[in-house]
Each structure stands twice: as structure tokens, then as C-alpha cells.
Structure 1
Amino acid sequence: MKWQQINVSNDGTHFLYEGNLIFGKHFIEVLKFHSPGLAPVVDESGAYHINELGDALYSKRYNRTFGFYCNRSSVIENTDWFHIDEKGNRIYSNFYSWTGNYQENLCTVRNKANQYFHIDLDGNRIYSENYIYTGDFKDGVACVKLQNGKFRHIDSNGNPINDLLFEDLGIFHKNFATAKDARGWFHIDRKGNELYSERYLMIEPFYNGFALVTLFDNSKRIIDENGQVMLTL
């Protein structure tokens, strides 16, 4: 039995393999398996992780556990958040008020002063700045909200990828990101340059060269990467 073929039941209380109950047990809650073949579960004893055989990874119990990403999992003990490794060991000594999931070997966290920043696989900060908010890294770039309320993109060393600031930002997808200024939402390239002059109420990332956008009258259009309207919906 391969863990990749283990599914979560529709009610989220047990695991299925080829449509059949496995491990001979229903839980209070289960989440899907992630590499290296571990899943978060909750039963009467608390929250913990099991392996692909259904065995508990460790004896300790938490208030809540989450899936493994980059062989790291967020866990909550009372009101403290931190990460454990695939053997159930704590990665670092710090406690946080919230921890995200590792992406590209980096993770966004919020400290007890409600400041956001990113840490590496060993729990070390990758830069000294504190932000109002930080998002996950994707393709080496993350969105952060500065203390002045503006957004920018940073690289995996914590350096800005350009000098431009925005009212709001999305992650890069196929070299383009969503951005917002005082006039509305639009798309930018990696240098922060706008792809077109129009602004919208809402936009989606480009999907194979086209994006769904919502005008300020709530009508919708499909535009290409040059901002040309290709279809009115």
C-alpha cells in the first residue's frame, strides 16, 4: 500500500485505500498524507501524526497538527505554534503565535508581537526586517506588507526584486503577478512594470495567456497578456 494512494473519506474522519476503510479506525478528524508519508489526525487523545501503516509517529499529543511540507509540520501546543520534523522532533526553540507551511524550504511565521517574517528549515530568520504580513515563497519570490502599509515582492534572501510599492500584490504566476494601485487591479511583470493601462475591480492570474477580469460595473471580460479584451462574458 502506497501512501500516495490513501484517500481521506468524504466526512474527514477516516482513511480509504481502494475505497475501503484502512487502519480499522475512525478518527475525530484526519487530513491527507504528505511526503514523506505522514498524515495529521485527531482522536480522543489529541492531535498527532501517523505513518502509512497507521502507527503514531510519536507519543506526544498536540492541540492541532498540520500536514508536512519540506519534511516540516506546523503544530500547536496550548497557544504556542512551532514546527516538528518527520521524526516528531522540534526544529527550533522559538514559539510563535502562528506558523505557516514550508514552501521552497522557507516558511512565513508571526511572532508574539504580531510581526511577520520568514525562517529557513532550521528555524533561522533569513532577514532582519519585520513586516505587517508575509506570504509564501513561490519560484523564489514572496509578497510582503511593509510597516507603511504598502506591498512589495522580495527574493529568498529578503531583498526587494524591484523598487516599486503597491497597495496590494499577488504572487508571480508564469512571470506575471496581480497588483493593485489607487486606481484598481492590474498585472505586472517581474520588474514591476504594468502590462496595460486599464484598471479593474478584481482580476485573476493569467491562465495559459488569458485572465478573467471584473470591471467596476461587475461585468466580466477575458483579456490577453497585453491587456486586449478577447471576450465579453
Structure 2
Amino acid sequence: MKQSTFLIVFTTLLSCTTLPKKEKPTFHGCDFNFVLTSIEGENKTYSYVGIREPKIKIHFPNYEHLSQVSENWIRAKKNGKFGFIDTNDKTVFIFQFSFVSDFVDGYAVYRDGEDRRDPKGYIDKKGNLLGDLYFEDAFLFRNGSALVKQAGKFGIIDTKGKFIISPKYDYLSPLYEDWAIFKRDEHQGLVNNKGIEKIFVHDEYEIKNTYYEGAVTFQRYEKTGMMDYNFKVIIPPNYDYLSLFHEGLVRFKLNQKWGFLDQTGKVIIEPIYDSEYDFEEGYAVVEINNQYGIINKQGKYLLELKFSSIQSFSNGMAVVKENGKKGFINTNAEWLVPPIFEDLNSYHDGIISYSLNGKWGIINVRDCLQK
């Protein structure tokens, strides 16, 4: 009988990359020097990530997918079903769901069945169904309220399952700062968390999207503009698309290209990009011809347009893909963690979700955050 042989073929060092590696990378005082080791068998190569820092706990990749951590639980997929693990990689909710969301405000949306059209409800961490209620559609809680659809109409419930805005709207956005955009029959406008409507009357303007930071977008003849809370136009409808304000700037699309405006409608960054994302922590991801980079609010590049994918900064780290692998950079455009992973989620709340060998695992760095 032929015995299997294994050979450790290499330990990853940073090579063939366009960015420098941070010397002695640290994270809140912890040694952040991850090392990837590959072991080659007869038919497959297996990769393992390691680190010398005792405060950092690396858990073996064992899942088909992992989400970011939310309320100390991580949504995981195993054998085609979703369940939840905690930050120590212990199963806290069995793998039984065809669809389930992350936990927010103590509740997760789940679907009672395999079909997309099956009813949805909210469960707590003990598996109890909120109010014994199911809905045609259900969306994540945010600040104690959630948008739901019932009998073809939209309303908003609280964390007790009671309607705070009756399900009577043809369109309704989630509440933000106690206000939501609504459309009902021929009416449109804003409705607050007590159900009081502020109706907007205009023959040519149609309100769009979501109320956010005191502003709403509207459309006129397929062009988009923005109004304030009192329906006063602050950005004329001259654009193919407007997003919402983030960090004082708003993305706009004009003639198939993207740029940024300030809160007065002044062009801050010219529309030269094929796509772009909102500013996060002072930086935005941009793309031209499927090449991604990062710019600051003056339009200057932190990273040039030469990467295959980038995720927005989160807690000073951004996921960047180069040569088919992903790692983390810092705001000095240095590799904090070299591109050694098959996939990565953005860092959040002391937890990193990563993929190796086609499976997902977690890295817990919370002990580094302890003072």
C-alpha cells in the first residue's frame, strides 16, 4: 500500500506586490505578522495561517461562508444551511436555515421555507418568533424599528412586533432620524415614527430612495436632484443618479461617469470614474476599466488604479486584492496583512472572517483591544 507523502513547500513572504509591507506590523500593540504555510500533498495543496502573538486566536476554516460579526454572533453556512457561531467558534444556533440575516437589535430575519416567496419573520437568539408574526417581506431592524410588507403594503414595526407606522403604503423607506419616505396612491412625502405625514405636492418631482441626514433625492424627467427636509431644492435635477450624503459628499452619475458633489451641489471630484463607492473614514474606492484604487476627499490617490478589488476602509483597514489574493492595508497604503487569503470580510468589532482552501474561518483579535 502506497503511503501518502506531504511536503511543506513554502512559507509565504511578501513578494510580487506593488505595495510595501509595514515593518513590524502591529494592531493595538499586538504583533500582526501573519504567516501562511502551504503543505503539498499528492493531489492538493493545503494552506494554513499562523501567528506568534498569543493574544490573537486563529480558528481553522470549517464553513462554506461566514458573515461579519454582529452582536457577538457570526452567521455561518455549513452543509448548505445557515446557523450561528460565537466569536470563539462555538455553535450557538444550529444550522437549519435556508435563509437568515445577521442579528440586529436582538433579532434576525429568517424565511420559513425554501422559496424566496415564503413568509419571513423575526427570531431572537433563543429562537422565539417575534409576536408570532410572519410577513410577505421583512427587513433588518435599525435603531429599534424595521420595515415590513403585509398584504402588498409597507409598514414599520417596533421590537415588540407592533406597528408604529401602519401597513398602508405602496412604498416606504426605513426610518432614519424618525422619518421615512412614503408613497401612497397619488400622495408622496415624509412620515414620522408616530405616523404623521408631511405631504409633498409637485407635478413633476418624484421622491426617491431614503430620507437620510436631512435630505431626500427626487427625480424629474429621468434626472435626479436633492431636497432638504422642507422640500427645498439644494441640488438641481441635473444628474443621472445621486446617492445619499456620506461624510459631507454625495456620489453622482453623469454621462455614464461618476464623481462627487458637496452639500451645496458644487463638484468636488470630477466625474471620471466607471464606478465608485461612498466615502468611509475619509477615503473612497473608485474604478476605471475594472481596475480599482482609493482616493481622498481632494481626489488624490492613496492607491493607484491597479487592483482587482478593494473594500472600503473599516477601523483603519481596507481589504485589497492583488495577484488573486486578499490582505489588509492601512491608511499609509502599506500592507498591514499581506495578500495571503483567498477571501476576506472587512474587519469589524475585533473579528476577521477569512477564507483558505475554499473554507471560511475566523481570527479573533479582541484580546488586543483590552486595556
TM-score past 0.5 threshold: yes
Partner of 1:93: 200
The answer to which structure, 1 or 2, has the higher relative contact order (CA under 8 A, 6+ apart) is: 2
SS of the residue aligned with 2:268?
A: coil
| Residue equivalent to 1:152 | 259
In structure 1, how many angstroms separate the alpha carbons of the residues matched to 2:305 and 2:136?
Answer: 50
| Structure 1 pair 52–194 and aligned structure 2 pair: CA distance change class (3 A) | closer
Q: CA deviation at 1:90?
A: 3.1
| 8 A Cα contact 2:294 2:302, kept in partner | yes
| Counterpart for residue 324 of structure 2 | 219
- The superposition leaves residues 124-159 of structure 1 with CA deviations (integer Å, 9 ceiling, x where unpaired) of 22122521111121121111113x333222222222
CA contact (8 A) 2:321 2:339 kept: no
CA gap of 1:219–1:57, structure 2 versus 1, over 3 A, is closer
What is the letter of the counterpart of residue 212 of structure 1? V
CA radius of gyration, larger in: 2
- Structure 1 window deviating more from structure 2 (194-203 vs 73-82): it is 73-82
1:53–1:182 CA distance, 2 compared to 1 (3 A): closer
| SS of aligned partner of 2:250 | strand
Shift of 1:197: 4.1
Alignment of 1:20-59 (within 5 A): 20-35=128-143, 37-44=144-151, 46-51=153-158, 54-57=161-164
TM-score normalized with structure 2 length: 0.50
The structure-2 alpha-carbon separation of the partners of 1:210 and 1:39, relative to structure 1 and needing over 3 Å to count, comes to closer
Instruction: Give the strand-richer structure, 1 or 2.
Output: 2
Equivalent pair of 2:213/2:245 in contact (CA under 8 Å)? yes
SS of alignment partner, residue 23 of structure 1? helix
Aligned equivalents of 2:290, 2:108: Cα separation in 1: 44
- Residue identity in the other structure for 1:77: R
Q: Could you say what secondary structure the match of 2:236 adopts? A: coil
> Which residue in the other structure is 1:106 paired with?
215
Aligned CA distance change for structure 1 residues 174 and 57 (closer, same or farther; 3 Å): closer
Contact 1:198–1:227 (CA under 8 A) maintained in structure 2 = no
- 1:200–1:122 distance in 2 versus 1, CA, 3 Å: same
Aligned-partner residue type, residue 272 of structure 2: F
- 1:186–1:74 distance in 2 versus 1, CA, 3 Å: same
Residue 125 (str. 1) matches residue 233 (str. 2): yes
1:7 is the counterpart of 2:7: no
How far residue 231 of structure 1 moved from its aligned partner, in angstroms, is 1.5
- Structure-2 separation of matches of 1:55 and 1:221: 44
Post-superposition shift, 1:94?
Answer: 4.0
- Hey, what does 2:298 align to over in structure 1? 191
Question: In the aligned structure 1, how far is the partner of 2:339 from the partner of 2:108?
Answer: 40
TM-score norm. by structure 1 comes to 0.75
CA-CA distance at 1:191 after TM superposition: 0.8
Please tell me the root mean square deviation across aligned C-alpha atoms, in Å. 3.4
Gaps of 5+ in 2: 1-103, 112-118, 341-371
* Counterpart pick for 2:286 among 179, 188, 191: 179
Conservation of the 8 A alpha-carbon contact between 2:223 and 2:237: no
The equivalent of 1:134 in structure 2 is 242
The number of equivalent residue pairs is: 224
Identity %: 21
Other-structure match for 1:166: 272
1-side partners of 2:265 and 2:237: how far apart?
8
Give the superposition deviation at 1:68: 0.7
- Residue type of the alignment partner of 2:177: C
